[in-house]
Every structure is written in C-alpha cells, then in structure tokens.
Amino acid sequence: MRKPDPCVLVIFGASGDLTARKLIPALYEMRAAGTLPSNLKVLGVSRREKSDDGWRDELAASAKQHAKGWDAAKWKDFASCIHYFAGDAAQGAMYPALADRLREFDESAGTKGNRLFYLSVAPELYEAIVDRISEAELVTEGKRWCSISPGDRSWQRIIIEKPFGHDEASAASLNRALGRVFEEEAIYRIDHYLGKEVVQAMLVLRFANTMFEPVWNHRYIDHVQITAAETVGVGNRTAFYDQTGAIRDMIQSHLLQIFAFVAMEPPTTMTADDIRAEKIKAVRAIRPTLPDAVAAHGVLGQYAAASTEGAYAELAGVAKGSTTETFAAIRLHVDNWRWAGTPFYIRSGKCLARKCTEVVVQFKPPAADLFRGVPHASGGVEGNRLVIEIAPAQRTRLRFESKVPGTPLTIAGVEMQADFDKQFGVQALEAYGPLLVDAMRGDQSLYKHRLEVEGGWVAVMPFLDAMSAPIRKSIASNYAQGSWGPAAADAMMARDGRVWHNE
Ligand SMILES: NC(=O)c1ccc[n+]([C@@H]2O[C@H](COP(=O)([O-])OP(=O)(O)OC[C@H]3O[C@@H](n4cnc5c(N)ncnc54)[C@H](OP(=O)(O)O)[C@@H]3O)[C@@H](O)[C@H]2O)c1
C-alpha cells in the first residue's frame, strides 16, 4: 500500500462544525496511529480572524471531546502542523497571500507543492472556490501524473463534501465546473459512510469468501433491505433539512453507495478504477421508476408530535405546509442478469424506533419444503438471512434454520454472529480519517466517481420530481415518533408479500 504523500491539507470552512467535530479529531486519530505523513501541514481557511494558537486551542477542546484516545502530548505534536489563514475564499483577493503561505510550507516543511483542498463550506460556495483556486493557478500539475508515479511531481486534489448537487441537473453542473479545473482522478467526492469499516468489509465478505458469491444473485436472494434509521429528530437543523429531506440527505448519497457495494459485480482487481467501474455499472443498472409507478414504489412521511420533540411540520424553521420528508422508503429494481426480479428496498428516517444502519439480505426459501407440517418455533420458516450491521454495532449475523434439540422434531431459527469490535478488539476510528489518508495516497476506491453521483440522482429523481407530488400529499404527522415509519411503508412491503426487518 502506498504511503501518504507529504502535502498541505487546505480546509476551506475552517471555523465550521465539520472541521472541529470530524476532520480535526479524525486527523488527530490518524496521527496518533502513525498513519499521517510526517511532513503534513493543515491550513484552515475561513473569514473570521484567528491566530494559529487561537485556532489550535479551539480544536483541542473539540478533539478532546470527539477523538478516541485523547493524549495531551500526542495532541501537542499534531497541533504543531496546524495553521490558520483568514480570508474570504469566494473572493480572489486573498489568494496571492494564500499561495505565498503554501510555498512557505513547501520550503519549511517539504510539502513538495502537493495540495489537498477540502471544501468544508456551504455547497453554494463550491463552484466559486474552485474557480478562484483555478484563477490563482494553484492547480499546476495534472494529477494523472502523480497518481501513477508519485516521484517528484506535485499534485493538487480536491475533496468535495455532500450534498453534491440538489438534483440531477445541479450535480451535473457541479461536475462540469470541477472538471474545468481538476481531472476526474483529482476529484474526491467524499461520503463518510464509505470510511466505515463494515462497508469496506463488505467487499471482503463478498469476494474473499467462496460461500457467498455463488448465491449472491436473483436465483437465491429474495430481496435486499438497506436501512438507515435514527431515533433523533431534525432538532435545530430545520433550515438545512427542510430544503433537503430524507431522500437527498441519506438515500441519494449514503444508501445508494452501500447499495453499490452490495449489488456490484466482482472487480477485476482491487484497484480504485476497477472497483469504481463496477459500482458505476451497478448504479446505472437501476431501473428508472416511471411516474405512474412512483406511488407504488415509494412512501414518504413526517413524524408527529411527541413529548421529546414537536411534530416536524410545526418546528421553528420548517416552512408552513412543508412536504419535506423525514422518512422515505423506496423500492428499486436492478436491470441486469444478477439482480433481475430481486428488489432492493431502501429506507431512511428520523425519530424511528431504533438507531441502526444495516443491510439485510433475505434469501429465498429452499426449493423443496421437506419439513412441511413440522412445527416451527417462530410460527413459520423465515429462511436464511444475512444482516450486515454497519452502525452503531459493526456486526454480521447469519440466520439459518435448525432443529431444536429433543423430540419431537421442531425447527427454530438460530444466528451466527461476527462482531468486529469484539473479534478484533479494535475500536473503529472516525470514518473521515482513513478517507483523508486515502486522498493523500491518491486512492479513490472509497470516493465517488462523477457517474456514480449522477446515476444516484437519476435513480431518486422520480421520487423528487413534481410528478411525485401525490406521494407528498398528506404526509404531515403520518408516523409516530419511536415507530418504524408510516403504515404505508409496511403496506408497500405487504403488497409484495414481505416485511421490514425491524429487529
Ligand atoms: N457538519 C457535518 O457534520 C457535515 C456532515 C456532512 C457534510 N457536511 C457538509 O460540510 C460542509 C460544511 O459543513 P459545516 O457543518 O461545517 O458548516 P458550517 O458549520 O456552517 O461551517 C462552514 C464554515 O465556512 C466558513 N465560510 C463561510 N463562507 C466562507 C467564505 N466565503 N470563505 C471562507 N470560509 C467561509 C464559515 O466560517 P467564517 O464565518 O469564519 O468564514 C463557516 O464556519 C457543508 O457543505 C455540509 O453540507 C457537514
């Protein structure tokens, strides 16, 4: 595995929440683990004035709270590479001084002209900052050179946060704007879900074992469920959330990425290009949902009032009569030979019964039922089920039927579990850390390609389009907090003869 190159990580949006709560704690964890390049510099850029030391003190307080394994001496060592630069990144005026500061780092710290720009600012600023970076001629080398042979050539890469676009057209427009300045190989569209161990472990589970891949298809798999459920509500993020909703916030981004790992074909090699090529194909094989099928394939909801939090529709900052969904469940079909006829049910919601992110692979019943009439402890055969828990536990569970010891013959489901935390005794790191290191190594395996992002938007647009307005009608307070969403989501499954996995 290539070591990360020396570089300057330039974080635009340095005084923001993401930088303090996620990026810096993640970098600190990676430094403590010895994974960062020794000559890394972190330069935070935002408008308000701060000194290097002032910013370090703010970040120390946050890292203490959010990083695993706080150690004052290790922080001191890490903090010495952190610097601050005050300026408006959307305006060209600050860039000559920024360029000088970067050159100083090259000389004093040996960062070799390598720059990793991180756009941790509001999405409205993405294009302006990319244009200013270009005008200031901070992108000097095609990254194509460096990703192939590190050597002496410098590289410039850019990490873009989500949301990546608001719809299909805006995502394509942002991709074009980025493409005018950076080549695709230098564009890192981040999805922190892909930094979670279990998502990567899915590749190993599928492709390093003999027993799963032969049955990983429509002949043996009845359906797949992908769920991201939260117990908390929107809280004070209404201004952002009311413009976004569950489909944009979770399904289009994170859950379709998880989908891609479940549905993709085996890559030819474990290189970024080969992995991403297969993910692109999986996302693009999603059958477009026709306007008249949207109501049958999608359910939206908004949580009702409870003692903990008021109804979504009544929260301060939510537009009157808002039809933004806090719950969405959609059914997707994949038009390829592997998945023809096996639906993927994808759901996400707030104020649900349990916090979990998981993939459930439900296998078909055995071809011949030799045990017809034999009593079953749970009332009926549920079939084999593989549950891949991504959060909060990192665990994989395989359910199968077994004979209950004793007589007469009775069948019951049993489970085998692999708990990653217990098995390996390693605490999962903040997902951003390994992803940042990957970007410093030039490894895009866990970053999204332009075509994946655009394909994801194509898949969900039918549920967001004006044509989908009927499924948005009367969603206000259509599910209770602490439930599993609107009754219509259960009815959608029941029509298909299936049930949600809510255990
Ligand atoms: N927070 C999260 O957990 C999270 C998770 C996933 C994705 N994201 C995405 O990450 C991005 C940042 O989120 P955030 O929550 O950190 O937002 P935030 O708290 O609002 O921080 C953004 C920062 O950008 C700075 N800024 C604004 N205009 C600027 C300009 N013209 N030039 C330089 N700096 C400027 C602001 O600092 P000054 O006022 O000092 O300039 C502000 O502190 C967003 O795109 C968000 O969607 C965030």
Statement: 7-189 belongs to CATH 3.40.190.10: no
Angle between helices 432-441 and 24-32 (to 10 degrees): 70
Ligand 1 and 262: CB distance under 6 A: no
Which residues are bridge partners to 329 per DSSP? 299, 347
Q: Is 297 a catalytic residue?
A: no
Give the distance, in angstroms, between the CA of residue 122 and the centroid of all CA atoms in the same chain: 18
For 182-234, the pLDDT digits (tens) are 999 999 999 988 887 777 789 999 999 999 999 999 999 999 999 999 999 99
- CA–centroid distance, 317 to ligand 1, in Å, is 19
DSSP string covering 221-252: EEEEEEEEE-SS--TT-HHHHTTTHHIIIIII
**Contact call for residues 395 and 419 (beta carbons, < 8 A):** yes
Q: Where are the domains of the chain?
A: 7-189, 194-368+416-495
Per-residue pLDDT at 1: 64
For 406-442, the pLDDT digits (tens) are 878 999 999 999 998 888 887 777 789 999 999 999 9
Which residues are bridge partners to 419 per DSSP? 395
pLDDT beyond 60 at 143? no
Q: What contacts 227, CB < 8 A, 6 or more positions away? A: 346, 347, 348, 356, 357, 358, 360, 500, 501
Q: Determine which residue's CA is closest to atom 7 belonging to ligand 1.
A: 162
**pTM of the entire structure?**
0.92
**Contact call for residues 294 and 463 (beta carbons, < 8 A):** yes
Catalytic pick from 254, 297, 333, 449? Answer: 254
- Between CA 358 and CA 374 the distance in angstroms is 32
Pairing of strands 385-391, 115-119: unpaired
Across 339-362, average pLDDT: 97
**Contact call for residues 47 and 88 (beta carbons, < 8 A):** yes
DSSP string covering 162-210: SP--SSHHHHHHHHHHHHTTS-GGGEEE--GGGGSHHHHHHHHHHHS-S
Ligand 1 and 18: CB distance under 6 A: yes
Looking at the CA of residue 126, tell me the nearest atom of ligand 1: 45
- Between CA 37 and CA 387 the distance in angstroms is 37
- Confidence band, pLDDT 50/70/90 cuts, at residue 126: very high
Statement: 194-368+416-495 belongs to CATH 3.30.470.20: no
Ligand 1 and 121: CB distance under 6 A: yes
Burial class (CB in 10 A: 0-12, 13-18, 19+), 14: buried
DSSP conformational letter for 295: H
Nearest Cα to Cα of residue 327 among 116, 500, 93: 500
Per-residue pLDDT at 148: 43
- Between CA 144 and CA 442 the distance in angstroms is 10
Burial string for 88-106 (b: 16+ CB within 10 Å, else e) reads ebbeeebbeebeebbeebb
